[in-house]
Amino acid sequence: MAITAARYRRPRCADTADTLRPNGPGDLRELRTVFHRVLKAGLANLPEEGFDEESLDVDRPGSPEEDIVPLEFDDPRAVDFRNYLRTWFRKAPWSSIHKHEMHAWLYWSIFNTRFPGIDKVSHVERTALHEVVGLIEHRSGSKSLTAPTPTNAIIRWRLQNEWRAQVRTYKDLEYVIRVPPKWDPASRVRPVVFMHGLGLGLTQYYHFIRHMFRVLPDHPILIPLHRTGYYAQPLEWLVFSCLATQDSPAMITRSCFVDPVTFCSWEGDLCYNFIYRPCENGFHLIVKYFVGTELGVANFLQRHFDWTSNSLWFEEIPKARDPQKTLFILGGKDAIVDAHRVKRYLTSHGIRKGLRFDPNGHHGEALLSSSPFHHEIVRWMQEN
């Protein structure tokens, strides 16, 4: 996690999707017929050995003759369908596959291109997606595809209505921003950018965000949100943070790193702990199944992760040895990164006064109000 006082611009990156020229989409009417046949497969009550050719005088018996009607959730046909459909989503739990992920997969399979978002597709494409998703809900015996994330939805509402923040989108990057009405860009009051880590979304960081809004009423606050969809790069915030620090250090006036995952990534601890380590306790299970195997996260980390772009080096941090400009917070019992080795890396480069190390601290614990470092972070942010 990184809290940075800065004026950010989005780094210009090559988009491989713009250079590739895949085959165009097929005929929509034909694809619609195919999807109907696919969804009908397995609906008919036929013996596994097949039908009796002598007694059944039908040229094409079986599922294509069935109607796609809503099934009960525990219907064996629905259970079988859900279980095998998960294969397209890296066998993620069915409860984690919602409408956005389903839209992205269907858009790719129908139109052979990346899903730009339901509000950005044509009326014809949107109609096709809604129709197929409705049929999938019937076939799977589940309405979970339409279920939003209630807690995050409530938090977004509270940020907008109680704190006058706005939720906006720039290209594929969603973010929360609060700009005080009387703020002047020419003033010495600099914007604060809060880069949160992977986890359970706004729910996990809401108390700290609310605290920032309260104690920094005159500062604009920007919170990039990583998307958790199949098509997006959910760690774009991390690449964004590192590239902005590397390419435009003059734009950053102060930086606070809380349990940062950007240091010592070449040593393999982060990769092993986050993806491959056998689960030994409840926290490990949460990290693995609710974060590490989330569709977009798994797709990015295991297929498209660029460790050089996601690594931050000491010499790339502006005024790293100045405790007034840079603060590092580490916990000795961090289950994600090897905090002891990160500490050694930082101290070997002369960082002393700006380093806080809690031997009993866990990952992200410093942002909790119960942590002794929580109030220190807030006080440090309030300093000019």
- Taking the domains of the chain in order of start, what are their residue ranges? 2-8+149-382, 22-45+62-146
Q: How far is CA 33 from each of CA 38, 88, 125, 132, 331, rounded to the nearest angstrom?
A: 9, 20, 15, 11, 56
The answer, yes or no, to whether residue 377 has pLDDT greater than 80, is yes
Structure confidence by residue, pLDDT tens digits, 222-231: 998 764 433 3
At 16 the pLDDT is 41
Q: How far is CA 315 from each of CA 64, 243, 246, 369, rounded to the nearest angstrom?
A: 64, 13, 9, 32
Say which range, 182-186, 250-254, 302-306, has the weakest mean pLDDT: 302-306
Question: Hey, which CATH number is domain 2-8+149-382, 1.10.10, 3.30.160, 3.40.50, 3.30.1490?
Answer: 3.40.50
Mean pLDDT, range 240-254, rounded to an integer: 63
**Angle in degrees, 0-180, between the axes of helices 372-382 and 202-215, rounded to the nearest 10:** 50
CA 148, CA 303: separation in Å to the nearest integer? 27
Say which range, 25-34, 61-70, 91-100, 129-138, has the weakest mean pLDDT: 61-70
Query: Band of the pLDDT at 38, cuts 50, 70, 90?
Result: confident
Which residue is listed with tokens 């998307």?
227
Alpha helices in 115-179 (DSSP H): 123-140, 150-162
**Nearest 5°: phi and psi at 227?**
-80, 150
DSSP at 290: I
CA 327, CA 311: separation in Å to the nearest integer? 18
DSSP at 292: I
Query: Band of the pLDDT at 113, cuts 50, 70, 90?
Result: confident
Structure confidence by residue, pLDDT tens digits, 281-328: 776 776 666 666 655 666 666 666 677 777 889 998 989 999 999 999
User: What size, in residues, is the chain?
Assistant: 384
Mean pLDDT, range 3-10, rounded to an integer: 44
CA 107, CA 105: separation in Å to the nearest integer? 6
Reduced to 3 states, what is the DSSP secondary structure of residue 350?
Answer: coil
Mean pLDDT, range 219-240, rounded to an integer: 54
**Displacement of CA 19 from its chain's centroid (Å):** 25
- 345 close to 312: Cβ distance less than 8 angstroms: no
Residue 249 exposed, middle or buried by CB count within 10 Å (0-12, 13-18, 19+): middle
Q: What is the pTM of this model?
A: 0.60
Query: Taking Cα atoms as reference points, which of 193, 98, 103, 104 lies closest to residue 147?
Result: 98
Average pLDDT, the chain: 78
